[in-house]
Amino acid sequence: MASTTATRQREAVDPSVRCGQWLNAWAPWIVILGLGGWAAVARTDQFVVGIIIGTLYALAAVGLTMIYGITNVPHFAHGDSMMMAAYLAFLVFAGAVLGAGDGDAVLPINVAMLPGATERIWEFSFGYGLILALVIGVLLMIPVYLAIDRVVYQRLARMGAGTAILAVASLGVAITIRGAMLMVWGPTSRRYTTGIRDTIQIPGLPRIVADQFFILVVAIGLTVAAYVVLYRTTLGTTMRAAADNPDLARASGIDTAVTRRWTWIIGGGLTAVAGILLALQSQLTPELGFVLLLPIFAAMILGGIGNPFGAFLGGLIVGVVGEVSVSLGIISPGYKTGVAFVVLIVVILFRPRGLFGAKA
């Protein structure tokens, strides 16, 4: 008798429990779509700029969340490595490095020398040479990631280093990378291209710089590609398995050293592209990397560590919130990235594992 009553009571509570679960699952979406929709209508210009910046944060945050999720390295060198990739692409493109006196020393071989390499494509400010430099820059950056992982992070991990030690080590890597960039390219800012930046009109949208359209398309395309790799291929499944439960992954015959390498190749590759696109959108300075770190970490944590989809959305949110809140006059532009932290704190108060935290 007693047990039947207990069962009935549980059934009686059930609908409200289910309602709570439903709210819990959908509340982030309701808030995001509500506020995002409002921003898109009432602050269209800033919303669009925010989305463009946001896709870059998103791309880098997807890389970061993969790296952190699978290798357990809270990669504080992320922003500086983005800049490093941008400078490598710059080197490939213009061949310029810091000279002895005034001005640059220019390497005799560079992509911009190729015939027609700087002739503008469509309305873009650049020609095929920059796209080539982007690809080569990423291909050069990937071995750098792999070398850093092998020399620093893997060695520390083998010695039993925890997250805190890896974090400090990655901070050291960040400072090293920044120092190297300062030595080779100097502190002054540089640009891939100088001429006028044409704007384009896409129906239903405000005018945007054509280069930004390129950025948007590449960033979204690569994020979709990363998603397909992670969720539709065996390699991706093994990567997610290794992130979820490394011991069990090994017990299933997965060589976690291989998954780790692929994580740096794919996650690092995305990050490198993000860095180069960001430099195309603004400029190259060694200092930019550290500034980037804040919004990118915010994006990753917002989305739930180890969740690429969440990191992507987190990047968009951070981008839009920054731009829109400046336009509302709430804050001065200098504090743009600070707003991301306010959002982050609010979200974490309600959802300690982020909007789409993987682990319950």
Partner 1 sequence: MSPPPPPVLSVSGLTSGYGEVPVVRDISIEVGASEIVTIIGPNGAGKSTVLKAIFGLLRTWDGQVQLDGTSITGLPPERLVRQGIGYVPQTENIFSSLTIRENLAIGGFTRATGLAERIDWVFALFPVLAERPNERASRLSGGQRQTLAIGRALMLEPRLLMLDEPSASLSPIMLQTVFENVVEINRRGTAILMVEQNARQALSISHRGYVLANGINRLTGPAADLLASDEVRRLYLGE
CB of 238 to partner 1, least distance (A): 6
**CA pair distance 76, 142, nearest whole angstrom:** 17
Q: Are 59 and 271 in contact (CB under 8 A)?
A: yes
Contacts of 281 (CB under 8 A, 6+ apart): 52, 53, 56, 211, 212, 215
CB closer to partner 1 out of 65 and 125: 65
Q: Are 111 and 133 in contact (CB under 8 A)?
A: yes
**CA pair distance 33, 14, nearest whole angstrom:** 28
**CA pair distance 28, 35, nearest whole angstrom:** 11
Q: Are 326 and 342 in contact (CB under 8 A)?
A: no
CB closer to partner 1 out of 297 and 356: 356
Q: How many CB atoms lie within 10 A of CB 132?
A: 17
Contacts of 186 (CB under 8 A, 6+ apart): 98
**CA pair distance 163, 169, nearest whole angstrom:** 10
Tokens of 120: 């503008």
Tokens of 233: 């291929």
Question: What are the residues binding partner 1 (CB under 8 A)?
Answer: 234, 237-238, 240-241, 243-245, 247-255, 306, 358-360
CB closer to partner 1 out of 46 and 256: 256
**CA pair distance 149, 134, nearest whole angstrom:** 22
